[in-house]
Amino acid sequence: MSPEQELLEKWRSLPENKQEEVLDFVDYLHLKNSATKPPLGERLRKIREKIVASGKPLLDEDEIERELASRRGGLQSRE
């Protein structure tokens, strides 16, 4: 069995959400190895489209601030 056939067979046996993770990883590898990467804005739009398509709600401004604070160890930004 070729690597391509083996990959496809294993991928088909995964649940749909895991198939999406595999596709995301393959996209990541493809971008990482391509000579020319799409602009950041285009990559961010694609990420947003995937989130919206998944049905997950987007974060509002307050939720983003809380997320940033938690990732920074609870430190709040100065205004």
pLDDT digits (tens, 9 = 90+) for 16-50: 999 989 988 988 888 778 767 778 888 889 889 98
Is residue 15 in a domain? yes
* Distance from C-alpha of 4 to C-alpha of 11, rounded to nearest angstrom: 10
76 band by pLDDT with thresholds 50, 70 and 90: low
| Cα–Cα nearest to 68, from 58, 78, 56, 77 | 77
The vertex-27 CA angle with 23 and 31, nearest 5°, equals 170
- Identify whether 50 is part of a domain: yes
As for how many domains the chain has, the answer is 1
Identify the domain containing residue 47 by its residue range: 3-71
Question: 24 lies in a domain?
Answer: yes
Does the residue 77 lie in any domain?
A: no
- Residue 79 inside a domain? The answer is no
Q: Do 52 and 58 meet the contact criterion of CB atoms below 8 Å apart?
A: yes
